Amino acid sequence: MNALVKPPVLAWVDVGAVTDIPRRGARRLPSPAGDVAVFRTGDGEVYALRDACPHKGGPLSQGIVHGRAVACPLHNWTIDLATGHPTGADAGKGCTPVVPVEVRDGRVLLGVPAARD
């Protein structure tokens, strides 16, 4: 097996309806490991990242969503929603972890590791 492959997601948690997230906007979701930002683009696609910019930890859920990217509200770094990587002038400077997310029947499902026995 490729060592880089992420551990499989074993459970999906329903966190709300797609329409709970404004188009070209985001919502914040608290979790024990810190907040998650769930984004919805102008095209209606849903992405999820840890709610922290790789630069100074700014809450990406509060940024302006454009195309498939978000501009961090603190210092305007632009983060690719699909990869968590900064783009443009800040490319290559760190990365925000991507959170597995799926949309089924208009519901947003977040991937969590299954509880260990």
Partner 1 sequence: MSRQKLVVIGNGMAGCRAVEEILKRDPDRYEVAIFGAEPRVNYNRIMLSPVLAGEKAFADIVINDEAWYRDNGITLHAGRAVTALDRERRVVVAEGGLEVGYDRLILAVGSDPVRLPLPGADLKGVVTFRDLDDVEAMVAASADPQAKAVVIGGGLLGIEAAYGLARRGMQATVVHLMDVLMERQLDESAGFLLTQAMRERGVETILGAQSEEIEGLDGKVTGLRLKDGQVLPCDLLVMAVGIRPNGALAKAAGLAVGRGVQVDDAMRTSDPAIYAVGECAEHRGQCYGLVAPIWEMCRALADDLTAGEGAYQGSVLSTRLKVSGVDVFSAGRFSGGEGCEDIVFRDAGRGVYKRVVLEGGKVAGAVLFGDAADGNWYFDLMRAGTDVAAIRDTLIFGQAITEGLAGLDPSSAVAAMADTAEVCGCNGVCKGAITGAVTAQGLTTLDDVRAVTKASASCGSCTPLVEQLLKLTLGDGFQAQVGPKPMCKCTSHPHGLVRERILSLELKSIPAAMQALEWTTPDGCSSCRPALNYYLLCAWPAEYRDDIQSRFVNERVHANIQKDGTYSVVPRMWGGMTTPDELRAIADVADKFSIPAVKVTGGQRIDLLGVKKEDLPAVWSDLNAAGMVSGHAYAKGLRTVKTCVGSEWCRFGTQDSTGLGIRLEKFMWGSWTPAKVKLGVSGCPRNCAEATCKDVGVVCVDSGYEIHVGGAAGLHIRGTEVLTRVATEQEAVWVICALVQLYREEGWYLERIYKWMDRVGLDSIKAALADEDDRRALYDRFAYSQRFARIDPWAERVAGRHHEQFNPMSRRLEFAPA
Interacting residues with partner 1 (CB under 8 A): 6-7, 9-11, 13, 15-16, 20-25, 27-33, 35-36, 38, 41-45, 48, 56-59, 62-68, 71, 73-74, 76, 78, 82-83, 99-100, 108, 110-113, 115
Cβ at position 48, least distance to partner 1 in Å:
7
DSSP annotation of 44: -
Cβ at position 63, least distance to partner 1 in Å:
7
- Residue 110 carries which side chain, given as an amino acid letter? L
What burial class does residue 18 get, using C-beta atoms within 10 Å of its C-beta: 0-12 exposed, 13-18 middle, 19+ buried? middle
CB 85 within 8 A of CB 68: no
